[in-house]
Amino acid sequence: MQSKLATWSSEDQGRRFDRLLRVIANWSWLQEAARVALASSGAHTPGIDGMDKHTMESELPLQLESIRSELLAGTYQPQPARRVYLPKAKGKQRPLGIPTLRDRIVQRAMLMVMEPIWESDFHRLSYGFRPERSVHHAIRTVKFQLQDSTDTSGRWVIEGDLASYFDKVHHKLLMQCVRKRIRDTRFLSLLWRFLKAGHIDKGLFRAASEGVPQGGVLSPLLSNIMLNEFDQWLEAKYLSKKARKDRWAWNFGIQQRRPIALRENRQWKPAVAYCRYADDFVLIVKGNKIQAEALREECRSFLEGTLKLTLNMDKTHITHVNDGFVFLGHRIIRKRGPRGTMRPVTTIPKDKFRNFAQRLVKELSGNYSENKMDLVEHLNRQLAGWANFYQFTDYTAVPYGKLDRILFWKLAHWLARKHRTSIKELIKQGVRKPSEDKAKTWTLFGRNGKGHLREIALRRLVTSRKGAFRWRNPEVNPYLPREEKRNTVTSRYHDVAMAMGHA
């Protein structure tokens, strides 16, 4: 059914779909939605009703039949989400809403029917929370956009940042965008009830007048639907083939000093490149800083005037690419290569490195009663996740080596404090090669918290594999049927958290 929806939406860009509520209320459709919802790691976290994964699985047929009956009768009422807060940089907190498992199943069913439709409409340069697209796709796209010239000047980057985007989405404007593709009134009414469900914060109910709840599976799709209007505005004004052709003709007239260009005192129009991941975007301007500032003001006017969103001017910087800028957890900068040409490279931002190192050091700064085998295993998992995220990044040897030295000596101090002995004696006993082809590191032997006898070595980041990102960008709607089998990659929670977080 998803391939049919994708085919119909691709063949007719103006088609509005009906009878979608009957699709999501189908028994097999709800079963698949429940399977996906309960397979996620977040299924163990209950909502305000206290129902966890184990309870839901024990009475799943009864729950699905109840959900199906309420959906068809039009009486299904989403419950408020349970509000929790996650730490952010500089002591700030990110609000997160945890829906009930029943609501998560219904949201998953709605997502399964909406995503194939909108994948035909979304912009090719939008990468956030989309199938077969990842953080590294977006980073590679930006690097490609900066490779079209060896000139060291004329590349100004606008780092777009929307202030509290998920909390500021205008409900009526969002529903107008959804109605462009869906005309099923019962489905639209259900979506409206989800938007207005509100949340419970510290025991108090708070109604939702705007925004989409962070934590629901529908929220990323709804945010993309809203910001697709911004994508299409930029496409029509700067990125489309017609816009680029008009810009070339305009600038060619200025170069040739044609009478109409002189009479109208025409100014040079810069080329513009664009990439967006969720609510973070970059605009690359092939011109001067004044032109970049004018483009930023145009974007602010459209976002605030048309979409009722706020562009955070304090964080929306304009930076020259030779000075470097941070996008999705990577620092992108243009440097001179070995052949004398300028090329864009990615590095690990200093803030990311500092925050990650401080977090690991904090774990090794106390709690000396913890099992040493479990501690090293926990450290290794974090190091493996970090190395996996930055495996396509340039110039990682120096920060990796520095972090390896910090952890080596911090673990030495932790073990010395735990066993009340000298670091010199511990190094004699515990520092050796885990195998013949590996360098020396802390290699501990003992029982873990479960009583299993084992040997474990502290991971060294400098031994992490490196590679080039070779995954292709999807050319068409990924839900369309195709004959060839393609290996694809989609960013999951860990990559998104690394890209959007502060550690």
What CATH number has the domain bearing residue 265?
3.30.70
Among the ranges given (116-120, 464-468, 483-487), the one the predictor scored with the smallest mean pLDDT: 483-487
**452 domain-assigned:** yes
26, amino acid identity = N
pLDDT of 327 reads 93
**183 and 71, same structural domain?**
yes
Tell me the per-residue pLDDT of 467-501, one tens digit each, with 9 for 90 and over.
Answer: 888 888 877 888 888 777 777 778 776 777 777 76
Among 180, 209, 238, the domain-final residue is: 209
429, amino acid identity = Q
**264 and 289, same structural domain?**
yes
**203 and 117, same structural domain?**
yes
Which residues lie below 8 Å from residue 311, measured CB to CB, with a gap of 6+? 160, 161, 162, 163, 296, 299, 300, 303, 304
pLDDT of 84 reads 85
Is the predicted pLDDT of residue 186 greater than 90, yes or no?
yes
Most distant CA pair in the chain, distance: 87
pLDDT of 476 reads 84
pLDDT of 434 reads 82
**371 and 287, same structural domain?**
no
Give residue 452's pLDDT band: very low, low, confident or very high (50, 70, 90): confident
pLDDT of 89 reads 65
Distances (CA, A) of 216 to 47, 97, 206, 221, 446: 11, 7, 17, 10, 42
Domain count, the chain: 3
**278 and 149, same structural domain?**
yes
CB 337 within 8 A of CB 345: no
Is the predicted pLDDT of residue 90 greater than 70, yes or no?
no
Q: What percent of the chain has pLDDT over 70?
A: 97
Structural domain boundaries, residue 284: 125-169+218-347
Among 347, 376, 396, the domain-final residue is: 347
Give residue 386's pLDDT band: very low, low, confident or very high (50, 70, 90): very high
* DSSP state, residue 45: S
**150 and 10, same structural domain?**
no
Most confident of 40-54, 112-126, 212-226, 422-436: 112-126
**373 and 288, same structural domain?**
no
pLDDT of 475 reads 79
3-state SS record for 264-325: CCCCCCCEEEEEEECCEEEEEEECCHHHHHHHHHHHHHHHHHCCCCCECCCCCCEEECCCCE
Among 327, 347, 367, the domain-final residue is: 347
Burial environment of residue 241 by CB neighbours within 10 A (0 to 12, 13 to 18, 19 or more): exposed
**179 and 35, same structural domain?**
yes
Tell me the per-residue pLDDT of 391-404, one tens digit each, with 9 for 90 and over.
Answer: 999 999 999 999 99
**112 domain-assigned:** yes
Is the predicted pLDDT of residue 55 greater than 70, yes or no?
yes
Distances (CA, A) of 30 to 22, 64, 351, 425, 457: 11, 7, 44, 61, 45
Cα–Cα distance between 248 and 244 in angstroms, integer?
Answer: 6
**340 and 237, same structural domain?**
yes
Is the predicted pLDDT of residue 138 greater than 60, yes or no?
yes
pLDDT of 176 reads 95
Average pLDDT value for residue range 363-380: 90
Tell me the per-residue pLDDT of 170-184, one tens digit each, with 9 for 90 and over.
Answer: 999 999 999 999 999
**434 and 319, same structural domain?**
no
Is the predicted pLDDT of residue 61 greater than 60, yes or no?
yes
pLDDT of 24 reads 94
**254 and 357, same structural domain?**
no
Token output for 71: 């959906």
